[in-house]
Structure 1
Amino acid sequence: MRLPRLTPADLTDEQRALRERIVGGPRGTGPQHFPLEHDDGSLTGPFGIMLHEPALGSRLQELGTALRYATGLTDRVREIAVLTVAAGTGSTFEAFAHERVGRAVGLSDDELAAIADGSFSPVDPREAAADDLCRRLLAAGRPAAMDDATYAAYADVLGTTTVTELVVLVGYYRTLAQLLDVFDVGVPEEQSTAQ
């Protein structure tokens, strides 16, 4: 890691308030599919990075909370999309965390493996369109060049609200993947040794 872990004793008032919003919000009070905290009380994954820059971290965690808990995405579509981004960006932490969430929302091990290797081909047309849209967004070297017919096909299957939610989700998780990569944050050591 390139940033020091911030334990509760290390935090400024602003950092402490952000930490409380993360662990006291729906991520920390709902079902725990992956650990938010290390044994020393520092936060795992992107949350530990967010604490270093609370002005930005606060907004990032609010956007992540909205994407996870306040959109119209089904749990399966959301996790398919997140895992597609994790696979496309090589984000080990996001794959580690969201494989666990994915199992909890009904994704099988075979489906998780197919998402990871790019061979996912669900029967559900909404899941197929969501996966395809996310892969298109990840493959684009610039904002996804999309002709009117392609956009209309996604909008017809998913609806414009879901298309918007997925575009924002891909951008958000791509940002997290870059943060995790730049600051060399992976699977929590406590978890990697337990696997």
Structure 2
Amino acid sequence: MRLPDLTPADMTAEQRALHDHIVGGPRGSGTQHFALTTHTGALTGPFGVMVHEPALGAPLQELGSAVRYATGLTDRVREIAILAVAAATGSAFEQHAHERVGRAVGLTDDELAAVAGGTFTTTDAVEASAYALCRRLLADRSRLTTEEYDDLAGVLGTTTITELVVLVGYYRTLAQLLDVYDVGVPDH
């Protein structure tokens, strides 16, 4: 990793406030499917990068929190979409973290492998359309014909389309941060 792990004792007041907000918020409460902090209290994954720049990290983590906890996406659709981004960007951390979350929300090992391999199929029209939209966005083909848009809107609705576009953009940003700073899967 190109940035040092910041333990709470090493942080400025702004960094500590962001750390405490992340750990004390919805990501830190409830069942933990992946480690949010190291044994020293440093944040893992993209949060360990965000804490270095609280002026950007705070609003970025707020957007992520909204994507994860305040949208109308079903848990399965959300995790399929996140894992589609992880697969397309080669984000080892997001793959690691969200495969665990995906299993917890009912994705099977076969479904997880299919998303990772870019071959996910399902008879659920919402899941299929959401996955297709994510794959299209990840292939940088976001300009839709009227017919394509109407088909997606008919299945997903405009709110879900917006939520998925924002989710893909957010997780792409995280993947780029993780790549630039060489952040991988935590050791523990």
Short-chain TM bin: over 0.9
Q: Distance in 2 between matches of 1:84 and 1:30?
A: 25
Unaligned ranges ≥5, structure 1: 191-195
Q: Which residue identity lines up with residue 93 of structure 2 in the other structure?
A: F
| Identity value in percent | 71
Shift, 1:174, TM fit: 0.2
Q: What is the TM-score of this pair, normalised by structure 1?
A: 0.95
Q: Match of 2:101?
A: 101
Q: Which residue identity lines up with residue 181 of structure 2 in the other structure?
A: F
Q: Which residue identity lines up with residue 117 of structure 1 in the other structure?
A: G
Q: Match of 1:36?
A: 36
Q: Which residue identity lines up with residue 157 of structure 2 in the other structure?
A: G
Superposed CA RMSD: 0.7
Post-superposition Cα deviations, 1:127-156, rounded to whole Å, max 9, x if no partner, equal 00000000000001xx61211111111110
Q: Match of 1:186?
A: 184
Q: Distance in 2 between matches of 1:31 and 1:62?
A: 20
Q: Distance in 1 between matches of 2:29 and 2:94?
A: 20
Runs in 1 of length 4+ with deviation above 2 angstroms? none
Shift, 1:31, TM fit: 1.5
Q: Match of 2:59?
A: 59
Q: Match of 1:193?
A: none
Unaligned ranges ≥5, structure 2: none
Q: Distance in 2 between matches of 1:156 and 1:57?
A: 36
The alignment of Structure 1 onto Structure 2 pairs a total of residues equal to 188
SS, match of residue 57 in structure 1:
helix
Post-superposition Cα deviations, 1:5-27, rounded to whole Å, max 9, x if no partner, equal 10010000000000011000000
Matches for 1:10-159 after TM superposition, within 5 Å: 10-140=10-140, 144-159=142-157
Q: What is the TM-score of this pair, normalised by structure 2?
A: 0.99
